[in-house]
Amino acid sequence: MQNFEFYNPTRIVFGKDTIAKLAEHVPAEARTLILYGGSSAEKNGTLAEVRAALAGRVFQEFGGIEPNPTYETLMRAVETIRRDKLDFLLAVGGGSVIDGTKFVAAAVAYTGDAWDILTTHGACVGAALPFGTVLTLPATGSEMNSSSVITRSRTREKLAFGSPHVFPRFSVLDPTKTYSLPLRQVANGVVDSFVHIMEQYLTYPAGGMAQDRFAEGLLQSLIEIGPKVIAQPDNYDLRANFMWIATLALNGLIGAGVPQDWATHMIGHEVTARYDIDHARTLAVVLPAMLRIRKEAKRGKLLQYAQRVWNLHDGSEDERIEAAIARTEAFFESLDIPTRLSAYTIGADAIDDLIAQLDAHGMTALGEREEIGLDVSRRVLEAAL
């Protein structure tokens, strides 16, 4: 096991009717900005519940944060907060709204050019406004971590930052708030959390027994409930398990003390930035190709994955590995998520541009051993066609 620090001070308030408890968690004297995305938070009643819970408190609202939240939109929220001297943020939405709120929280407290926060990957963040979240879409884990991904529309750049200053103070997770989600978003969430786990698990054996067992348990659970959570939108137990699993998939726990990959995410981000394809859908395309191209480096863990997650015991090592990757693809496809670039009519002629983007963003030594250069990324994209 590698040395590690684990620290996660976010309070999770989980279950039915928990939005009503918001006033216990938002400081009484706070001047709050409620940030949300499109119209769904209004339509499904979540915003109304939030307003009711904060009745009598000082708050304003800021809607319109996009999927893949943009710097341009978020800087308007920063202006509002400065102008009206607001001092607490409440994100109501999914990972995009929460990621955006993290950026806003850091940007309000930063005196330089706020884009520095992204280009330094958070190193320049010395403080942030406190904030909580009300999660409506299980997927990214942003509700219980200190990372964020922001897009700059003008330059089509999609960059990540992290800082211990942007852990949510609390996150309210009410599984019933997910009942009205579009099934496409639920399927995306299943794939997103699945790949989050794989980025922290499918590297090389590092002797983290609890980390491996936890990761395998989360993967097994997602495989068990994935199709059901889509087929039965108002099944509380399914949605509750999905919601908690998606949070646990990326709250620092399963990645503590073990190597992490994240190359699939980095390549996927470029596909989203260039073609505006849903984040999770880019991961479903890149991951199987990544596992095939990096089979030798990942052999030990691929065999463990085949055995413990997919219960594959027969055949040669290579057969078991290929079967496990094929099962992974079939799982994604069973959720109506394609696993090939061609499904999005992206062909071989697109690869040069994507590689140039990776190069421009310094993504030239990716993966758990930093051995994925642009040449390997090219082979991954070719294998994903």
- By C-beta, is 82 or 213 nearer to a second copy? 213
**Per-residue mark of binding to a second copy, 237-256 (x: CB under 8 A):** x--xx--xx--x----x--x
Residue 290 near residue 263 (C-beta atoms within 8 A): yes
Best CA proximity match to 247, nearest among 2, 11, 3:
11
Residue 148 near residue 165 (C-beta atoms within 8 A): no
Helix (H, G, I), strand (E, B) or coil at 147: strand
- Which amino acid, 130? P
Q: How far is the CB of 136 from a second copy (least distance, A)?
A: 17
CA atoms within 13 A on the CB side of 153: 10
- By C-beta, is 3 or 345 nearer to a second copy? 3
Which residues in the 36-65 window bind a second copy by CB under 8 A?
none
Quick one: which of 44, 73, 180, 220 contacts a second copy (CB under 8 A)?
220
- By C-beta, is 224 or 353 nearer to a second copy? 224
Does residue 1 bind a second copy (CB under 8 A)? yes
Does residue 153 bind a second copy (CB under 8 A)? no
Six token digits for residue 67: 């999927």
- By C-beta, is 15 or 259 nearer to a second copy? 15
Q: What are phi and psi of 372, to 5 degrees?
A: -90, 95
Quick one: which of 64, 207, 315, 347 contacts a second copy (CB under 8 A)?
207
Does residue 213 bind a second copy (CB under 8 A)? yes
- C-alpha–C-alpha distance, residues 384 and 355, integer Å: 14
Does residue 225 bind a second copy (CB under 8 A)? yes
Q: How far is the CB of 217 from a second copy (least distance, A)?
A: 3
Q: How many CB atoms lie within 10 A of CB 255?
A: 24
How many residues bind a second copy (CB under 8 A)? The answer is 41
Helix (H, G, I), strand (E, B) or coil at 368: coil
Six token digits for residue 137: 């879409």
Q: What are phi and psi of 54, to 5 degrees?
A: -105, 15
Quick one: which of 27, 130, 227, 257 contacts a second copy (CB under 8 A)?
257
Q: How far is the CB of 284 from a second copy (least distance, A)?
A: 22
Q: How far is the CB of 197 from a second copy (least distance, A)?
A: 11
Q: Which stretch binds a second copy (CB under 8 A): 128-136, 214-222, 279-287, 325-333?
A: 214-222
- C-alpha–C-alpha distance, residues 96 and 41, integer Å: 13
Does residue 9 bind a second copy (CB under 8 A)? yes
Burial class (CB in 10 A: 0-12, 13-18, 19+), 181: buried
Does residue 192 bind a second copy (CB under 8 A)? no
Quick one: which of 99, 157, 199, 216 contacts a second copy (CB under 8 A)?
216
Q: What are phi and psi of 151, to 5 degrees?
A: -110, 140
Does residue 235 bind a second copy (CB under 8 A)? no
Strand partners, 254: none
Quick one: which of 218, 285, 341, 381 contacts a second copy (CB under 8 A)?
218
Distance linking the first and last C-alpha atoms of the chain: 36
Quick one: which of 210, 326, 348, 356 contacts a second copy (CB under 8 A)?
210
- At a CB cut-off of 8 Å and minimum separation 6, what does 304 contact? 205, 212
Does residue 154 bind a second copy (CB under 8 A)? no
Does residue 2 bind a second copy (CB under 8 A)? yes
Does residue 13 bind a second copy (CB under 8 A)? yes
DSSP 139: S
Does residue 214 bind a second copy (CB under 8 A)? yes
Q: How far is the CB of 333 from a second copy (least distance, A)?
A: 23
- At a CB cut-off of 8 Å and minimum separation 6, what does 321 contact? 295, 299, 302, 303, 306
Does residue 16 bind a second copy (CB under 8 A)? yes
Does residue 290 bind a second copy (CB under 8 A)? no
Q: How far is the CB of 171 from a second copy (least distance, A)?
A: 10
Quick one: which of 56, 111, 209, 296 contacts a second copy (CB under 8 A)?
209
- At a CB cut-off of 8 Å and minimum separation 6, what does 233 contact? 178, 179, 180, 181, 183, 186, 239
Q: Kindly list the residues in this chain that would bind a second copy in the complex (CB under 8 A).
A: 1-18, 207-210, 212-214, 216-218, 220-221, 224-225, 237, 240-241, 244-245, 248, 253, 256-257
